[in-house]
């Protein structure tokens, strides 16, 4: 039920039947690219909308409610505004790097989205190193931030970029180790196999307390890696005005903005896939009636529901916590998260070796 594989197979076989292999390949690539980009843009816009609504809820406000029903078109209107805005050129800035930085950031986040399984059979590429691939790609984003800060020829930006670099490089370790925990359980890096291994229960439930610890560490480190509050030191607006994107305007600023939200989505989607069973429905042990009803809900809803939950938690962090200081941030990673996650990984390896998980 609800398998996308036959649909995609029939599409490719249709292309193969009607076009030469070259054109079939090209059309399938282009259609995939267009679909991903559209998805990316729409999702990014609505994540911004969601953040504004969540933030408003936390702050006893209404949030956007004028443009469209419940303000649904507000971010689209904002995007149009940003598109039409004048791009400011900065004297003495390295214009090539200045212009390319937002693209590096946004390309990194688009590429990461490609290998996330949204539902059964709905995945652009199912690499056998899926998790590693996403880690590798998302580690590229920081380069964009670094050169954006440097090329702006602004002191605030440089400080923001340096902070961001130190932060992302440090927290990548914890993200990686927390993901390794799930990989150790599943015995594979392929995202589809990881999901398949959770058929009889999500890892967060099957993996005892260590899995939960890994999940929490992943959430904290993931939030830090996306430069979001309370870890938004790179753009700490009370200290550095806007950090690395102080000098950006118009669509280039929008790129940074979109990429931030899409990175958050990638982090949440990865958490969903590795710990919360991806697009698998929620099942109660041997409670067949309940399980059948759950099965009727399409996997896409399950996936996006879980991801939305994780994203909500991350927004909740942002709107209730004060920001950390840079030394506290690094101390948190190197003194607490990293040792805990190393120990946790050891524990999980032991659990897996002994087959003690459910």
Partner 1 sequence: MSGPKIIFFILAAAILVFSVMSIFSRRILRAAIYLLFVLVSMAGLYYMMNFQFLAAVQLILYAGGIVVLIIFSILLTSQINSTLDPPRKSHLLLGAVTSVLGLILGATTILKYSFQASASAPIGTDMRTIGRHLLGTGAEGYALPFEVITVLLLAALVGSILIARKPKV
Partner 2 sequence: MEETLLDIDLKDREEYIINMGPQHPSTHGVLRFETCLQGEMVKYIIPHCGYIHRGIEKMSESLSYPQLVHLTDRMDYLSAHMNNEAVALCVEKAMEVEVTDRVKYIRTILAELSRIASHQLWWSAFGMDLGALTTFFYGLRDRERILDIFEETTGTRLIQTFITPGGLMNDVHPNFQKRVREFVTYFRKKLPEYNQLLTGNVIFQERTKGIGYMSKEVAISYGVTGPSGRGSGFHCDIRKLAPYSAYPFVKFNEITATEGDTFARYWVRMQEMSESLDIIDQLVDNIPQGDYMLALKAIKAPKGEFYHSVETARGELGVFIVSDGGPNPARIKYRTPNFSNLFVINKIAAGHKIADLVAISGSLDLVIPDIDR
Q: Does 334 bind partner 2 (CB under 8 A)?
A: no
DSSP state letters, 191-257:
HHHHHHTTTTS-HHHHTHHHHHHHHHHHHHHHHHHTT-TTS-GGG-HHHHTTGGGTT--HHHHHHHH
Contact residue for partner 2 among 165, 230, 298, 305 (CB under 8 A): 230
Q: Is 27 in the site for partner 2 (CB under 8 A)?
A: no
Least Å from the CB of residue 319 to partner 2: 5
Strand, coil or helix: what is 122? strand
Q: State yes or no: residue 322 binds partner 2 (CB under 8 A).
A: yes
- The helix/strand/coil state of 119 is strand
Considering only 21, 60, 86, 286, the residue that binds partner 1 (CB under 8 A) is 21
Is the Cβ–Cβ distance between 309 and 264 less than 8 Å?
Answer: no
Q: Would you say 82 or 146 has its CB closer to partner 1?
A: 146
Separation CA 57–CA 162 (nearest Å): 33
Question: Encoding tokens for residue 295?
Answer: 């099965």
CA distance 352 to 76: 48
Q: Quick one: 158 or 236, whose CB is closer to partner 1?
A: 158
Residues with Cβ within 8 Å of 296's Cβ and at least 6 positions away in sequence, in order, are: none
According to the binding rule CB under 8 A, does residue 96 interact with partner 1?
yes
Q: Which does 66 bind (CB under 5 to 8 A by kind): partner 2, partner 1, none?
A: none
Among partner 1, partner 2, none, partner that 324 touches (CB below 5 to 8 angstroms by kind) = partner 2
Check: CB of residue 108 under 8 Å from CB of residue 144. Answer: yes
> Measured from the CB atom, is 133 or 303 closer to partner 1?
133
- In angstroms, what is the minimal distance from the CB of 225 to partner 1? 12
Radius of gyration, alpha carbons of the chain: 21
Q: Which helix (H) or strand (E) holds 331?
A: helix 326-331
Q: Which does 230 bind (CB under 5 to 8 A by kind): partner 2, partner 1, none?
A: partner 2
Q: Using CA atoms, how far apart are residues 272 and 279, in angstroms rounded to an integer?
A: 8
What totals of helices (H) and strands (E) does the chain contain, helices first?
A: 16, 0
* Residue 58 is a binding residue for partner 2 (CB under 8 A): yes
Tokens of 97: 């790097």
Q: Which one, 205 or 319, has the nearer CB to partner 2?
A: 319
The count of residues interacting with partner 1 (CB under 8 A) is 38
Q: Report the nearest approach of partner 1 to the CB of residue 139 (Å).
A: 3
Question: Which residue in this structure is represented by tokens 């946790």?
Answer: 344
Per DSSP, the three-state class of 55 is helix
Interaction of residue 16 with partner 1, rule CB under 8 A: no
CA 166 to chain centre: 20
Q: Which does 29 bind (CB under 5 to 8 A by kind): partner 2, partner 1, none?
A: partner 1
Question: Which of 45, 236 has the CB closer to partner 2?
Answer: 236
Q: Which of 32, 55, 127, 294 binds partner 1 (CB under 8 A)?
A: 127
Q: Where do contacts with partner 1 occur on this chain (CB under 8 A)?
A: 21-22, 25-26, 29, 92-94, 96-97, 100, 127-129, 132-133, 135-137, 139-140, 142-143, 146-147, 149-151, 153, 158, 161-162, 165, 169, 172, 188-190
Q: Where do contacts with partner 2 occur on this chain (CB under 8 A)?
A: 55, 58-61, 155-156, 159, 163, 229-230, 232-233, 236-241, 319-328
């Amino acid at each position: 039920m609800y398998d996308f594989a036959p649909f995609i197979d029939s599409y490719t076989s249709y292309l193969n039947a009607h076009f030469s292999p070259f054109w079939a390949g090209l059309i399938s690539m282009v259609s995939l690219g267009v679909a991903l980009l559209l998805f990316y843009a729409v999702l990014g816009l609505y994540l911004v909308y969601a953040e504004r609504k969540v933030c408003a809820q936390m702050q006893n406000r209404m949030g956007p409610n004028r443009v469209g029903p419940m303000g649904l078109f507000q971010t689209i209107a904002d995007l149009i505004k940003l598109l039409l805005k004048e791009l400011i050129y900065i004297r003495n800035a390295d214009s090539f790097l200045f212009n390319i930085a937002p693209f590096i950031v946004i390309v990194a986040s688009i590429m990461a989205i490609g290998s996330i399984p949204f539902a059964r059979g709905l995945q652009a590429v199912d690499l056998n190193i899926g998790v590693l691939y996403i880690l590798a790609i998302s580690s590229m984003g920081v380069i964009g931030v670094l050169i954006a800060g440097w090329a702006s020829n602004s002191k605030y930006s440089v400080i923001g970029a340096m902070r961001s670099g130190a932060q992302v490089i440090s927290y990548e370790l914890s993200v990686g180790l927390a993901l390794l925990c799930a990989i150790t359980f599943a015995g594979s890096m392929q995202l589809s196999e990881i999901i398949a291994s959770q058929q009889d229960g999500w890892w967060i439930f099957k993996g005892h307390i260590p899995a939960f610890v890994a999940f929490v560490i992943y959430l904290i480190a993931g939030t830090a890696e996306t430069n979001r509050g309370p870890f938004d030191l790179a753009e700490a607006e009370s200290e550095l005005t806007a950090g690395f994107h102080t000098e950006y305007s118009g669509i280039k600023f929008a790129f940074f903005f979109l990429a931030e939200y899409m990175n958050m989505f990638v982090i949440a989607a990865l958490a969903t896939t590795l710990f919360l069973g991806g697009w698998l429905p929620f099942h109660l042990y041997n409670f067949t009636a309940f399980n059948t009803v759950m099965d009727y809900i399409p996997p896409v809803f399950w996936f996006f529901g879980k991801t939305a939950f994780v994203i909500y938690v991350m927004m909740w962090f942002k709107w209730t916590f004060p920001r950390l200081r840079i030394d506290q941030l690094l101390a948190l990673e190197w003194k607490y998260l990293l040792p805990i996650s190393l120990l946790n990984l050891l524990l999980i390896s032991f659990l897996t070796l002994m087959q003690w998980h459910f």
